[in-house]
Amino acid sequence: MNRIEEIISLLGLEPHPFESGYYRRTYESAHYVEGMGEGNSNRSLCTSIFYLLTKDRPINVLHRNKSDIIHFFHLGGAIQYTTVTDEGEIVHQVLGSKLNQGQHLQLLVSGGVWKAAELLEGEYGLISEVVIPGFEYADNEIATIDHLQGFTGAIREKLRLLIK
């Protein structure tokens, strides 16, 4: 068993159905926020997952969520996050263990911001994500070519590589 298979097995990860990589929900708060869920239902205050990118699944495709998400780096190679501001500016931030090279151990991506992630080095990169209020698939939007039409040509071309 190689290291990737070992991590997948030990953490009970499964292929992510929409974004690529592997994941497992590890926590869902028993506390709720009233009227924030789909159809104005109650929503879990917070959820968390493990998320693994591998050399075979190195890109977390461009998407956005309604909730804020805090990402925490754990193991493996550095992961570059690409976010797009409301003004159409691309911002790159790297999660990894090389703090002296400008890498970060955690990253906040605010709700409504387009984001993607890419494994930069090594065989794998393992993170956790905490979603506040809790994650619901109805709040997750995967980018398509049509979503890119509102950006300038140069930005659109850079983001095209991060579309599923």
Domains and CATH numbers, the chain: 3-160 (2.60.120.10)
Query: How far, in Å, CA of 26 to CA of 88, rounded?
Result: 33
pTM for the model: 0.92
- Residues 29-68 have pLDDT tens digits of 999 988 665 666 788 999 999 999 999 999 999 999 999 9
Cis peptide before 133 (omega within 30 of 0): yes
pLDDT at 38: 62
pLDDT at 85: 80
pLDDT at 39: 65
Structure confidence at residue 152 as a pLDDT band (50, 70, 90): confident
- Residues 103-133 have pLDDT tens digits of 999 999 999 999 999 999 999 999 999 999 9
Token pair for 101: 């090279």
Residue 161 burial (C-beta neighbours within 10 Å; 0-12, 13-18, 19+): exposed
pLDDT at 149: 83
